[in-house]
Amino acid sequence: MTSQTALRASSLTPEQIEAFDRDGYLMIRGALDADEVARYAEALDRLYIEERDAGRLTPTGAIHKLSAITAVPEMAGLLNHPNTFHYVWSILGWNTHVHHSHVDVNPPIREKQPYRFKWHQDGGRQNTQLETDPRPRMAVKLSYFLSDLSEPGRGNTKIVPGSHKRNRIDGPPRRDVEWPEPEGAIEVTGEPGDVLFFERRLWHAATDNYSDITRKMAFIGYSPQWVRGRDDVEDLPNRSWWNDLDPVQQQLLGGCAPTGDHAWGFHFDETPLYLWLEEQGLLDPKNPPLKPER
């Protein structure tokens, strides 16, 4: 093992694990030093300029870029940072991998945005297809603060401590209907270099940034390595027999989920089995399609 991948030799304490199991999150204060924050923030600034020049900003001038390390290779050091990675393997063990990651830049918003109920659990269809109560943990996430989010109102994430043990919270009939905040909700604040470590079941929500500070964050999500297909499906679309398959057969072999959002069930209108069931009138109303939260 090289110095670049050096890991902390001690796991979380029993008290930390108990707190994580109880609350669904832990704060890691000062995980990154000032030089690291500056280096990662500068790399994220370069990505932002690329996305802006390519016309890929959101209507509020933000970016939400999936595949964090592919987008910003300089951030590879966050994958197994010695001040944070032991949180991951203390909870998930050794058989883990990154299943989902993204970087976010949210400049100040100058106009009040329409209301949208943003509270959710991570995991996409995991939250409709796992039938236990509560559903299993499945994944955890490290959320790195790369700008000063020490005050509320800077686009900070909101969470409901302890809500990971609840499969649902009260919400409106539509996301654009104004609704009270969940009981116990708090806004997570942090200095540059702090990290929010939480599990995917924790109910949380993004907030709009009406401050004068640009919010910069990197999120690395981890799950057991078996949360993926086991069959060898590499390069299948180039096999000689691939085009002889029907669309549903191609979906079942992994050929119709080119991105993580497809695999998580967001692009139902491009999923062959969904379209076939819809055509046959066989869709189950208890298993509705998901729409990505952007």
Amino acid at 84: T
The CATH number given to 3-224 is 2.60.120.620
State the chain's mean pLDDT as an integer. 90
By the 8 A CB rule, do 17 and 90 touch? yes
The mean pLDDT value for 179-203 works out to 98
By the 8 A CB rule, do 107 and 48 touch? no
Q: Is the pLDDT of residue 154 over 60?
A: yes
Tell me what pLDDT residue 293 has.
56
Q: Is the pLDDT of residue 243 over 80?
A: yes
pTM to 2 decimal places: 0.87
The residues, ordered by sequence, that sit 6+ positions from 60 with a Cβ below 8 Å of its Cβ are 106, 107, 109, 113, 208
User: Which residues belong to CATH 2.60.120.620 in the chain?
Assistant: 3-224
Tell me what pLDDT residue 4 has.
42
Q: Is the pLDDT of residue 249 over 90?
A: no
pLDDT digits 0-9 by tens, 71-107: 999 999 999 899 999 999 999 998 899 989 999 999 9
- Looking up tokens 């945005």 gives 113
Tell me what pLDDT residue 1 has.
34
Confidence band, pLDDT 50/70/90 cuts, at residue 7: low
Residue/partner pairs of 226-232 with CB below 8 Å, 24 or more apart: 226/95, 227/99, 227/138, 227/139, 228/97, 228/99, 229/254
Nearest to 67 by CA among 57, 83, 79: 79
Q: Is the pLDDT of residue 271 over 60?
A: yes
Give strand pairing partners of 213: none
Tell me what pLDDT residue 52 has.
98
The residues, ordered by sequence, that sit 6+ positions from 24 with a Cβ below 8 Å of its Cβ are 159, 161, 162, 163, 164, 165, 198, 199, 201, 202
Torsion of CA 174, 179, 182, 184, to 10 degrees: 160
Give strand pairing partners of 104: 64, 217
Q: Is the pLDDT of residue 8 over 70?
A: no
Give strand pairing partners of 101: 220
More confident call, 257 vs 43: 43
Give the C-alpha separation, 51 to 141, whole Å: 24
The mean pLDDT value for 166-174 works out to 95
